[in-house]
Amino acid sequence: MNFSSKLLEEAVHEFAKLPGIGQKTALRLVLHLLKKEQEEVNHFGQTLIRLKQEIKHCSICHNISDQTVCSICMAPKRDKTLICVVEDARDVMAIENTNQFFGVYHVLGGLISPMNGIGPADLFIDSLVKRVESGEVKEVIMALSATMEGDTTLFYLHKRLQPSAVPLSTIARGIAFGGELEYADEVTLGRSIITRVPYTHSMIK
């Protein structure tokens, strides 16, 4: 692209580094910002700088937090004997949005992926083992992606947590609510038949 201004080019280049944003979208965003007031743009820039500078990770569950212990780990109402293990902070938000889980979380910070050079030592696995071995935990729910990396991580965590004898569970896999059978993939559909559950009225809300 032919830029009439170096400043413009640099701003477009910075936006285009973000995932899923190409040169044309970046240009549109930058021209949008140029139409805003100086104060608004300053606030945007400062927010990003402050975000990176001031944000913390919870010392217990490693979730993104403003304090050293996050609001979920601090809440007296949450069941500390029930830990849900997730890949990242986005999964915590997704599960929180369901309003169906009242335990606490453990954010691994990724999944084991030899292809991308991520081993168990790169993730918050040791701290999870320590939490589980502390004796207060009654169940660990694994809410990991149903991918090769997710399954590898699940298998590794199972091996590491076995000595503690704490029950391990995984979230249910199957046909999504509202999903039509004909559009479901064979693996999911096949598994959903094998792992079928007895019918009860309470399942359908």
Question: By the criterion CB under 8 A, which residues form the site for a second copy?
Answer: 1-8, 10-11, 14, 18-21, 25, 27-34, 36, 38, 41-55, 58, 63-66, 70-72, 88-90, 92-93, 96-97
Cβ closest to a second copy, residue 41 vs residue 146: 41
Residue 105 or 153: the one with the smaller Cβ distance to a second copy is: 105
Buried b (16+ CB within 10 A) or exposed e, 79-89: ebebbbbbbeb
Query: CB of 12: closest distance to a second copy in angstroms?
Result: 10
b (16+ CB within 10 A) / e for 35-56: eeeeeeeeeeeeeeeeeeeeee
Q: Which is nearer to a second copy, 27 or 161 (CB)?
A: 27
Q: Measured from the CB of residue 50, what is the shortest distance to a second copy in angstroms?
A: 6
Is the torsion defined by CA of 40, 44, 46, 50 positive or negative?
A: positive
CB of 77 to a second copy, least distance (A): 14
Please give the Cα distance from 169 to 189 (Å, whole number).
21
